[in-house]
A and B are shown apart, each in its own frame.
Chain A
Amino acid sequence: MITFENVSKRYLTKQALSDVNVSIPEGKIIGLVGSNGSGKSTFMKMIAGLVSPSEGKVMIDQESVSRRTANKVAFLSELDAYYSFFSVKETIHFFATQFQDFDIEKAHDIIDFMDIDVNQKVKHLSKGNRGRLKIALTLAREVPIILMDEPLSGLDPMVRDSIVKGLLSYIDLEKQTVIITTHEVTEIEPLLETVIAIRNGKVLALEDVETIRERDRMRIVEWLKKLYQEEA
């Protein structure tokens, strides 16, 4: 289980997270939603051990996270980051050498599903295809935690739809927890089981999507708007 205990993160001129206390349930697809600059990326990077808290502790299964927590966490960054000199096939091979849990066969399956030419240089792929490659590299890892920061950004609506549908077939929810941030909340809403709302570095709520639908009779975006209005 991922636990945030009194976690704050300060940068020179900005408070990115503020006294966050949250325990994230296992084996679910969780949406992390909030406006731009609300602290979503910092939240994700903290779980990946790529950002350290200024105060408090982030733990996975009772162990404090560090950079080397990468052996438990697959992190898809929102940035368009890749080794441009590698081909798609070489990129897959490089990831397989670095992560013991990397399933090459699964990576090739996903690449086929995404219709990407494995022999093409990554720098020659379109932005959309680079986005798909990132998704394939992340989902090909057999890790307990998968973090996807804006996985659909830069992809056209048709592709987004097929990826959202494909996501479920490449995730094993018996063993894996997936946390996704996205601005296309409506598109991934059918996938989500739990949602975390964040604003100005504060976690406003963690709620089951089913509860939001049945108790509040709302969709996630409406629920988020309501929370933001109450907080304002």
Chain B
Amino acid sequence: MMNWSGLLRKEFRVTRTLLLGVVTFDLLVMIGFFLGSARWEVPYLTAIIGGLLTALHVFFLPLYLLISLNTEGRNLNLWLHNPQSGARLLGAKIMNGLLALLISIGLVSGLALLAYNLETSVLELPIENVWLFGFYFLTVIVTGSFYMGTWLTFYWTLYQVLKTYIGRWAVLLVLILIGFISWLGSWFDGTRISEVLIDWGYVQLPSPLNAEVSQQEFDLTVSTFPFPIGNVVFDLITIVLIFLLTCWLLDRKVEV
């Protein structure tokens, strides 16, 4: 337990300045737009900027991990001469990055929500339940960031393995591999196997939007939307496998 908390504390110190910088940026942007919105008279300006900034957090974890991993990459022997498993070394980074992501996204979305509630505009947005909307939005951004972060960790580790053998060509090879895996993913999405693996277990989730479908004969208010559990299970299995493969590469194949 002590080694895990020691790793977490070290990870926090590795990226502490980065987190402080991001939080300061968040505050400056949100407060700046809040003060400016009174002059510019654009409805919901601060909330919209907050929403955009929140959406940009999808890139937070991959960038955060890239900076953290590159810091270790400069002194690989210091990081890797450690009896802890690769899962712990990487897990501590991901855990710390997630915590930083939650701090930053929590701050921005909290301020955006506050600005939305303070808004006196007569313009009505088609959001029925702002809390539910926020919850879905944040879930998509945080899980998306986690997904991308895990893939980035895999590509970074693969780069470290290849670098030993092919030097600077490793960057090119990893970029080609990223392109190929992205293409493979797109191709797979359209196949019958993908449909079988992903397109199942639909549940109806409550919709936060106030969407009305009007026909000549009747009005219909859409209060739910279908959501495939199969998709979540498939993504979860993929990401666990990618993480395990990354840990194996780090433990067995990365050299200093």
Contact = CB atoms under 8 A, between A and B. Distances in A.
B83 A68 contact: yes
B80 A94 contact: no
Nearest to B10: A94
A94 B79 CA distance: 12
Interface size, B (range): 20 to 34
B82 A70 contact: yes
A75 B79 CA distance: 12
A50 B256 contact: yes
B77 A81 contact: yes
A119 interface: no
Contacts of B84: 68, 98
A81 B253 CA distance: 21
In terms of DSSP, what is the predominant structure of the interface of chain B?
helix
B166 A12 contact: yes
Interface in A80-102: 81-83, 85-86, 93-94, 96-100
Nearest to A73: B81
Given A11-B165, A52-B253, A67 B13 contact: no
A146 B9 CA distance: 27
A67 B79 CA distance: 11
A98 B166 contact: no
A79 B3 CA distance: 24
A77 B6 contact: no
A221 interface: no
B255 A51 contact: yes
Given A12-B166, A50-B255, A75-B81, A83 B13 contact: yes
A81 B252 CA distance: 22
Interface string A29-67: 000000000000000010010111000000000000011
A97 B77 contact: no
B97 to A, nearest CB: 17
A71 interface: yes
B242 interface: no
B21 to A, nearest CB: 15
Interface in B65-115: 75, 77-78, 80-86
A50 B75 CA distance: 12
Contact of A50 (B6, B77, B166, B167): B77
Nearest to A9: B255
Interface in A188-230: none
B75 A52 contact: no
B75 A67 contact: no
Nearest to B5: A97
A48 B86 CA distance: 16
B196 interface: no
18 contacts: A45-B77, A50-B80, A50-B81, A51-B255, A52-B252, A67-B81, A67-B82, A67-B86, A67-B251, A67-B254, A81-B78, A83-B10, A83-B78, A86-B10, A94-B10, A97-B2, A97-B6, A100-B83
Closest 10 CB pairs of A and B: A97-B6, A81-B75, A71-B83, A81-B78, A70-B83, A50-B256, A77-B77, A51-B255, A85-B13, A97-B2
Given A68-B85, A83-B78, 17 more contacts: A11-B165, A12-B165, A12-B167, A52-B255, A66-B252, A67-B251, A70-B81, A75-B77, A79-B77, A82-B75, A85-B14, A86-B10, A86-B13, A97-B2, A97-B5, A97-B7, A99-B83
Interface of A: 11-12, 45, 48, 50-52, 66-71, 75, 77, 79, 81-83, 85-86, 93-94, 96-100
